[in-house]
Amino acid sequence: MDVTRPLDLFDALVIGGGPAGLSAAVNLARACRSVAVVDCGRPGRSDWAQTNRNYLGFPDGITAVELSALGRAQAEHYGVRFYDAEVARLVHDDAVFTAEAPGDLTLHGRAVVLATGVNDRWVTFPDYEQYVGRTMHWCIVCDGYEMQGKRVLVVGNDDHAAETAIQLRHFTDQVVMLTNGGSLGLSPEQVSEVDEHGIRLVVGRIAGARARAKGVFEAVLLEGGGEIELDHLFNQQGADPNSALARALGVKLTDQGYIVVDTEAKTSLPGVYAAGDVTRLFSHQVATAVHEGGTAATALNYYLYQKDLEAFRAGRGQTSS
């Protein structure tokens, strides 16, 4: 269907180049849609050193970095254009979305997929980055299996962190919980649960770490002295969704700032779809991100089909008259 439109107008702008964004891009390109992916240089969850061992089809696991590289190559094979930039402004006017980034980059699209992810509130201390994805984790679904027989430290100061600590007892009986704060933030009921499951609860802050090898914990050092020996650390201090662009568009968000979507990845604004970690608090998985990206692409493609059909019918009516 030949619909007249400016040459610089993409069918879809995909904001974010993680698993969700790449999946959306591949599926849209295979629907013969023109696609631009804009991905910033700041590290997201797919840029750390972790290995995905629960992604179907990779029995020996695959690193997040390698999976993303394969996804980008696959998207480029189908003609997806990539822009390494961070979108600073996204506006909607007259059925066209305009994304602006530093360096005079301006892109126009008929629809948008927001796959902007989250920013984790990492446990920070000197050189903490070398541990992330190696022996510092954030997801029990991804990495719980590898904790069997290991010494595990859960860092967090709320009931959700306590629940993670208790769930880790399914894999190992060597679990310690550290608040990383000066006071206790757990409810009395959850404190009792932690104690009943044989988990030592420590109120204190991390000042540093000692490594057996690069990125491999031997112990964390506490403010005021003392240390906790460990093999792995689970960061349970929460994350902040990167939903500023959605907020600026007036897209509906949850109270926590996550983008609200339906089962087809549609947001409250027609033409705007969202996928991946930015859409919810639960089940932040590579597998679900890829699924959601594919769902967003399918729904977006049908949305454009409907728009094209409306334009075709309107043009045919004008010709007949």
pTM for the model: 0.93
User: Could you read off the pLDDT of 149-197 as tens digits, one per residue?
Assistant: 999 999 999 999 999 999 999 999 999 999 999 899 999 999 999 999 9
For residues 89 and 105, give the distance between their C-alpha atoms in angstroms, rounded to a whole number. 11
Percentage, residues of the chain above pLDDT 70: 95
For residues 160 and 181, give the distance between their C-alpha atoms in angstroms, rounded to a whole number. 15
9-119+239-320 — its CATH code?
Answer: 3.50.50.60
Quote the tokens at residue 262: 């339906």
User: Could you read off the pLDDT of 217-241 as tens digits, one per residue?
Assistant: 999 999 999 999 999 999 999 999 9
Is 295 exposed, middle or buried (CB count within 10 Å of its CB: 0-12, 13-18, 19+)?
Answer: buried
The single-letter DSSP state of residue 185 is -
The 3-state DSSP class for residue 114 equals: strand
User: Could you read off the pLDDT of 53-98 as tens digits, one per residue?
Assistant: 999 999 999 998 999 999 999 999 999 999 999 999 999 998 899 9
Average pLDDT over residues 197-225: 97
pLDDT the model gives residue 283: 63
CB-facing half-sphere around the CA of 265: CA atoms within 13 A: 32
State how beta strands 272-274 and 105-114 pair: parallel
pLDDT the model gives residue 93: 93
Of the candidates 112, 30, 113, which has an alpha carbon nearest to the alpha carbon of residue 78?
A: 30
For residues 51 and 142, give the distance between their C-alpha atoms in angstroms, rounded to a whole number. 9
Q: Do domains 9-119+239-320 and 122-235 have the same CATH topology?
A: yes
- Listed by start position, the domains of the chain span 9-119+239-320, 122-235
Pair 65, 109: CB distance under 8 Å: no
Which top CATH class is 122-235?
alpha beta
Quote the tokens at residue 127: 């050189």
